[in-house]
């Protein structure tokens, strides 16, 4: 991680809004993005997590610098990604420093996020784009942003954030999830009646296939929702999704999934290390709630981390340019960020390492 900060730190001093590393472009240059990008919170989050792992104060200092560049996002109501941005940065920062200013930013961000909630639908609208394709799209990724609402409800003693989060979680459980434990990527609702209009994909292989990172979001999301609600139906769904993923016939021995679990298998289909990192982190938490499958989940999480920590996925070479993991897939149908490092893969890898360390301490 030393190389990671040295690689990216000089960007803060440049006269540019693009300061947050996201991936590596095909030309070999680092792709930096603005605060409004959905991935902007992951790098400051990585710095907080690295401080967790090392207790070296330089990481805390640098985490503050990058985190506070995101403050204006607390008012950005254009999409649902405030949870990713704010919880990875300010959420980790509050946990580590107890800075009261961070608390206020989290609450304001949650207030902004619920402005996208519609009572008739019972969900937070995910996207405003592609209006020719859908009217009120809700994506499985949106489960991850509910943690912001649960946190804000506890910090503010205001139940509205909790209520919105639970409503969204219930609707997702009812309409996104399939009988086998897998999930659709996008569910489009009618904005007036609240009825489901279509179930489809945007980043997966096909509407009825199992986009790997989508399955990871579902596993992680329902595990987190169970933590916050203690409602057993969410734990049951998380375990069902875990079994679907871990028993899928396309999953290789290294447990790093192809970008879509149901894509026709051939040598040219890329894997997605980001999905694997999310799954590993989720399994460490899920294992702490499941007496029956605890050892199984912990072992699978350990196996994934072992694979991601190997030379195949975590090479010791300069190509990485400060990133940790190779072989992630961002948006295969769009031919975007294919077989490349991705900042959120690194974030969930570090989070998984922290969770593993905490289990070892216990």
Nearest to 103 by CA among 156, 52, 60, 144: 156
pLDDT band at 2 (very low <50, low <70, confident <90, very high): low
Annotation says 188 is catalytic: no
Rounded Cα distance between 187 and 321, Å, is 37
Number of domains forming the structure of the chain: 1
* pLDDT score, position 234: 98
13 — pLDDT class (breaks 50, 70, 90): low
Q: Is 157 a catalytic residue?
A: no
Which tens digit of pLDDT belongs to each residue from 89-119?
999 999 999 999 999 999 999 999 999 999 9
Tokens at 52, concatenated: 């967790």
**Catalytic-role residue among 81, 260, 272, 346:** 81
pLDDT for 9 equals 59
φ, ψ of residue 246 to 5 degrees: the values are: -75, -20
Q: Which of 263, 253, 258 is nearest to 273 (CA)?
A: 258
Q: Is the pLDDT of residue 266 over 80?
A: no
pLDDT at 6 over 60: no
pLDDT for res 131? 85
pLDDT in tens, 271-319: 999 999 999 999 999 999 999 999 999 999 999 999 999 999 998 765 5
Q: Kindly report, residue by residue over 168-197, the tens digit of the pLDDT.
A: 999 999 999 999 999 999 999 999 999 999
Provide the CATH number for the domain around residue 25: 1.50.10.10
What mean pLDDT do residues 142-159 have? 98
Average pLDDT estimate for 133-137: 95
pLDDT of residue 326: 94
User: The domain containing residue 270 runs over which residues?
Assistant: 2-361
Closest CA to 111 of 139, 152, 78, 145: 152
Is 95 annotated among the ligand-binding residues? no
Do the annotations mark residue 213 as ligand-binding?
yes
Q: What is the mean pLDDT of the chain?
A: 94
Confirm or deny that 81 is annotated as ligand binding: yes
Please state the length of the chain.
Answer: 362
27 known ligand binder: no
Q: What is the model's pLDDT at position 98?
A: 97
User: Which of 72, 94, 92, 93 is closest to 82 using CA atoms?
Assistant: 72
The answer to whether the beta carbons of residues 135 and 190 sit under 8 Å apart is yes
Residue in 37, 52, 79, 141 annotated catalytic: 141
Range from 134-148, 278-292, 316-330 carrying the lowest mean pLDDT: 316-330
pTM of the model: 0.96
Report the share of the chain in percent with pLDDT over 70.
Answer: 94
Q: How many of the other CB atoms lie within 10 Å of CB of 130?
A: 10
Task: Give the pLDDT of residue 8.
Answer: 65
How would residue 220 be classed by pLDDT, with cut points 50, 70 and 90?
A: very high
């Amino acid at each position: 991680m030393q190389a990671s900060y040295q690689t990216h730190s000089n960007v803060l001093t440049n006269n540019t809004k693009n300061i947050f590393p996201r991936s590596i472009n095909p030309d070999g240059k680092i792709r930096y993005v603005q605060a409004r990008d959905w991935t902007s919170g992951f790098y400051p989050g990585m710095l907080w997590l690295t401080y967790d792992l090392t207790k070296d104060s330089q990481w805390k200092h640098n985490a503050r610098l990058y985190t506070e560049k995101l403050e204006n996002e607390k008012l950005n109501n254009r999409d649902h990604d405030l949870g990713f941005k704010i919880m990875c940065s300010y959420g980790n920062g509050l946990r580590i420093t107890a800075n009261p200013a961070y608390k206020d930013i989290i609450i304001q961000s949650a207030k902004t996020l619920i402005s996208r909630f519609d009572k008739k639908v019972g969900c937070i609208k995910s996207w405003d784009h592609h209006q020719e394709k859908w009217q009120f799209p809700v994506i499985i990724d949106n489960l991850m942003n509910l943690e912001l609402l649960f946190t804000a409800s506890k910090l503010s003693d205001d139940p509205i954030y909790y209520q919105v989060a639970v409503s969204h979680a219930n609707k997702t459980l009812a309409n996104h999830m399939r009988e086998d434990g897998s999930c659709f990527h996008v569910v489009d609702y009618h904005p007036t009646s609240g009825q489901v209009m279509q179930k489809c994909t945007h980043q997966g292989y096909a509407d009825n296939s199992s986009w790997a990172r989508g399955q990871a979001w579902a596993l992680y999301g329902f595990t987190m929702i169970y933590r916050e609600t203690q409602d057993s139906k969410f734990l049951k769904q998380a375990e069902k999704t875990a079994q679907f993923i871990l028993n899928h016939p396309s999953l290789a021995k290294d447990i790093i999934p192809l970008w879509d679990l149901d894509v026709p298998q051939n040598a040219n289909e890329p894997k997605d290390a980001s999905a694997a990192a999310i799954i590993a982190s989720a399994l460490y938490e899920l294992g702490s709630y499941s007496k029956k499958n605890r050892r199984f989940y912990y072992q699978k999480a350990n196996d994934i981390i072992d694979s991601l920590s190997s030379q195949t996925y975590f090479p010791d070479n300069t190509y990485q340019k400060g990133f940790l993991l190779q072989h992630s897939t961002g948006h295969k149908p769009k031919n975007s960020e294919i077989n490349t490092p991705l900042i959120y893969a690194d974030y969930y890898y570090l989070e998984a390492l922290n969770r593993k360390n905490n289990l070892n301490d216990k």
